[in-house]
């Protein structure tokens, strides 16, 4: 990866950028919960941010973004802890993507 590309990745995944993304997500969820927007209006935003509905009502599958594909051991431990606390199942796809299904 070139230095320019690495700099762009670092900027998109800076603490400030991540905090902003979390804040936007929380705002949209609040709009949904308050009735300001409908489930249909929320769906494109939800999908863009990696939350996918499942066939079982009330269950979701979350996609986790991994900046530049680099996952350090301590990051993996945090993901495992979240999965243990909030999930009833974890899967790794054939493309080596980890899925927390049934959240």
HEC per residue, the chain: CCHHHHHHHHHHCCHHHHHHHHHHHHHHHHHHHHCCCCHHHHHHHHHHCCEEECCCCCCEEECCCCHHHCCCHHHHHHHHHHHHHHCCEEEECCCCCEEEECC
At 74-88, the pLDDT tens digits run 988 888 888 888 887
- Model confidence, pTM: 0.61
CA 51 to chain centre: 7
Place of tokens 């009330």: 58
Greater model confidence, 69 or 28: 28
Encode pLDDT of 37-66 as tens digits. 999 999 999 998 888 888 878 778 888 777
């Amino acid at each position: 990866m070139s230095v320019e590309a690495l700099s762009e990745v670092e900027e998109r995944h800076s603490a400030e950028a991540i905090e902003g993304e979390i804040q936007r997500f929380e705002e949209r969820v609040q709009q949904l919960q308050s009735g300001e927007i409908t489930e249909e209006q929320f769906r494109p935003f939800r999908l863009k941010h990696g939350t996918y509905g499942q066939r079982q009502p009330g269950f979701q599958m979350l996609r986790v973004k991994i900046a530049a594909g680099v996952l350090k051991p301590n990051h993996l431990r945090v993901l495992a802890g979240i999965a243990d606390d909030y999930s009833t199942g974890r899967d790794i796809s054939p493309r080596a993507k980890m899925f927390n299904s049934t959240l």
